[in-house]
Structure 1
Amino acid sequence: SAGSQQAGAALQQARVILQQAQLELARTEVRASADGTITNLDVRVGDYAAAGQARMALVASEGMWVYGYFEETKLPKIHRGDAVDIRLMAGGVHLQGKVEGIATGIADAAGPTSSNLLAEVEPTFNWVRLAQRVPVRVSIDPASVPTDAVLSAGMSATLVIKPKAG
């Protein structure tokens, strides 16, 4: 009968509303993808966060690393696994690490293409070329970090790579 069809439709609609409410409730809790510290928290009571909108930063406490920017002429001597001495600019803290990887590409600062994807050639060129700097990722050995050391993302350090013999 029409009454039972209406009741069935109302029941189905109520189930959909319940599922939507359960989904929204599950989304009220944010879980970190790693252990670490939240910084730059930009939320207030009653705020709504849209998917893909950054509202905080998570600085992971595991897997610490640093980038060294080495001239391309030095890259043939650098290999994955090479030991690295790391000296922080802040207080001269001395850490140990190893080369984790070398970037496989960098952007050309001169911008080889224009917005319409055609080659963009400057009418003048500075004929003295400096060697490009290529990022080398170095993992920090957690055992080398003193307990009283302050490590903060974005700090500066001096890196000395010790190439493997042979």
Structure 2
Amino acid sequence: MLQTDLVEKCKNNDRRAQLKLYRQYCDAMFCVARRYLHNREDAEDVVQEAFIKAFRKLHQYRQEIAFGAWLKRIVINNCLDRIKREKERLLSVEDVFPEISGEETEGWMVENSLSPKMIAGAMEQLPEGSRYVTMLFLVEGYDHEEISEILGITEVNSRTLLFRGKKKLRELLKAYRKV
């Protein structure tokens, strides 16, 4: 069955089609959620909430983009919402990270000797604001316009946070190499 046919059946509340679509994407979406949430149960909850939201708002899905990309954005937004809810009080990004001048660096690469676990561990040590921007940019592949929409920040702040996140990540990864 074609993806578009499956989505159309889901729009008509076909439970079998919904289950099939769920099974097709649940593992990948769980992996995305785990990159943002440390607790397995929270990640599972977010994925379930994302599927419920996706099925409720399926009429808004435009087939110009892949269904998986659309769903991934819902999962990421749900993760970020959960993180925000857990905070008692959030400072605005502008207060925490004032704008800096300079362009972001291009062609950012890490050495092959660094394991994915080391890189993930280093990313977890980044300050929260720059961690999410860095993950959205480097891991998820979003551009600054999309990141600014997802996080509710300006594109300038997205660039600033990415610049700082990459700089700090480089420092952390250098420390791993010395170990």
TM-score by shorter chain over 0.5: no
**The structure with more helix, counted as a fraction of residues:** 2
Report which structure shows greater RCO (CA 8 Å, sep ≥6). Answer: 1
Q: Name the larger-Rg structure.
A: 1
TM-score normalised to the size of structure 2? 0.25
**The structure with more strand, counted as a fraction of residues:** 1
